Chain A
Amino acid sequence: DAKTTQPNSMESNEEEPVHLPCNHSTISGTDYIHWYRQLPSQGPEYVIHGLTSNVNNRMASLAIAEDRKSSTLILHRATLRDAAVYYCILRSSGGSNYKLTFGKGTLLTVNP
């Protein structure tokens, strides 16, 4: 799977929007962009995924750059429960794409 680059940590205030960036300059045309998050003492939790177009769900929005070399996970109003490690993961459409290849992710701190 192609490599992703994320900031080690970010900080936000409660009820403010959060933009979590991810760079994936070597992404191929058929790679899906997935985001998972891991709350303290929990297993990872699926957040959202997309291919080319921006995506919205009840948890977050995913904005994908036109050249697909970067993406941004958007939490519209951060809450204390959003404090977690956020992982940006590329899933190829071929090969060993059954597994998730995690990096170190971005540790999001939400201040009250």
Chain B
Amino acid sequence: DTGVSQDPRHKITKRGQNVTFRCDPISEHNRLYWYRQTLGQGPEFLTYFQNEAQLEKSRLLSDRFSAERPKGSFSTLEIQRTEQGDSAMYLCASSLDPTGHPLAKNIQYFGAGTRLSVL
């Protein structure tokens, strides 16, 4: 399977614990995105990487959230001191956008997501 892979698929944790999710994008995709989706809502943008550089962070991404993409390959999203409001589906997407390619036309490929439940 050469699609976007996310691990774990499900995570149950207690309030106050730290959690880390991993995303493996499609090989050679230079852009990687994290989104969060709560029940009944569409996904909301969290952050975006171009290669290893984190270029944008949503105001939804509080100080308890940190994302990395070392070496421009896989990415991790860590949530520290989890709260019940963090319960959601965390989605990762990637895209390949050569230099000069209009971003308005880019296609993002999503993983199946990590469902986080904070008790």
**Which A residues are closer than 8 A to B by beta carbons?**
30-32, 41-46, 49, 85, 87, 91-93, 96-105
Contact = CB atoms under 8 A, between A and B. Distances in A.
A32 B42 contact: no
Contacts of A97: 103-104
B116 interface: no
A104 B40 contact: yes
Contact of A99 (B4, B48, B111, B112): B48
Contacts of A92: 104
Contacts, number: 66
A42 to B, nearest CB: 6
B5 to A, nearest CB: 11
B4 A43 contact: yes
B8 to A, nearest CB: 14
B105 A49 contact: yes
Contacts of B105: 32, 49, 91
Nearest to B109: A46
A104 B112 contact: no
Interface string B104-119: 1111111111000000
B45 A99 contact: yes
A100 B108 contact: yes
Given A44-B91, A104-B40, A99 B56 contact: yes
A85 B31 CA distance: 25
A43 B42 contact: no
